[in-house]
Amino acid sequence: MAHKNFRKEDFVQNNEKQYQIEFKKQLVGEGINLIVERLNEKHEYETIQAQITRSNDSIFIIWDQPFDGRIIFEE
């Protein structure tokens, strides 16, 4: 499994006042087995159940606040 790290600064606020980050499908695939992990205060990754939406060639991870983390996906 491959992963892609992201930082809370990578999130942008959407019209619903939630934060989202965009990944291109060509980078992470269709996102069928996508796992989202958040980096906690102990600097350990914890799996979260974030909202995931797809639009055209992009996959969006949506959360109520930005966070440092990573996505894990099949290559």
Q: What is the rounded CA–CA span in Å between residue 66 and residue 63?
A: 7
- Tell me, what's the pLDDT at 43? 95
DSSP state letter for 10? G
- Tell me, what's the pLDDT at 27? 86
The tokens of 37 are what?
């992990």
Q: What is the rounded CA–CA span in Å between residue 13 and residue 1?
A: 29
The tokens of 56 are what?
């055209």
Query: What are the structural domain ranges in the chain?
Result: 2-73
Q: Scanning the structure block, which residue is given the tokens 């790290």?
A: 5
Residues of the chain with pLDDT under 70: none
Query: With contact defined as beta carbons under 8 Å apart, do 12 and 47 qualify?
Result: no
In 1-75, alpha helices (H)? 25-28
pTM exceeding the 0.95 threshold for the entire prediction: no
